[in-house]
Structure 1
Amino acid sequence: MKKLLLAFTLLIGFTAFSQGLTLGKEPSKEIKLEKGRFYIDGTQIPSYQMKKVFASNIHSLNLYKKAKTKETLGGTLFGLGATVCVIDLAVGLFSDVKYPTALTYAGLSAVAISIPILSGRAKKMEEAVKTYNDELKDSGSTDFDLNALANQNGIGIQIKF
């Protein structure tokens, strides 16, 4: 009985920590970018899920991350600059302080800096989608991909069909 219980426990333990094999995986679909939104087969994909989609193509993933970084940095600068300008305007209207002060000029410069940063993000997004779709067209000719892997758990061979 102890041997049967030990074998059953080991079997359950191995299956709980196994990664499993996915058979019949359908091929990736082409991405379309329209008005800043991502579509796959006519279904809109949220931007937070696009990292998972681009994960198969490292170059596209890096371009996507750069575009999102530009979007975050540019949006932050734009919002901060506009907020500083509005606060300085309110202070100038409701008190006896001379308007405009240095805060207004700092806010306007932050807004001016954010414009070129924000303008480059759309091009990076388009380039990420283009490289992803180009790889899909090129990868159709190969039947499988063989890679040697090494990480903290050990070494191995990865075969993708």
Structure 2
Amino acid sequence: MKIALKSGERLFINGAVIRAERKTSLELLNDAVFLLESHVLQPEQATTPLKQLYFILQTMIMDPVSAPAAKDMFHLVMASVSGAFSSPEVLEQLGNVEDLAQNDRWFEAMKIVRGLYPIEARLMAADHRARQEDDNSPPLRGREVVHQGPQLAVV
């Protein structure tokens, strides 16, 4: 496996962080779990269920020592994420992610999760539009809306 790095770019291999001082290429001669800096999600970027799942998977690659604790968190988040989706396509792929993670194939699991981002974005946009349409719906006919403190009551 040949990896090209730009000057200043980082590479995470089996928990070690390698930074290229200048443009260089490396050749990995055996199996190693690695992650390119361009695939690293920062904590503040983990703003959706799938990105949170991705973040946990990348943590297992970047810090193998804490992988057992991250694995426990992965299973908790996976259950929550699976419950957040009803799309059969997403649920099937999440099953694949879980199988891969069970076998410590975190990078392959991350690739699947990353591939689901566009579907998640579409579903979230559709949900947002539906909520906006509900907010803009005409008032209920034949009923009076009464303000009761911070909530509205229909009478």
Q: Settle same-fold status: TM greater than 0.5.
A: no
Larger Rg over CA atoms: 1
Q: Name the structure with the higher helix share.
A: 1
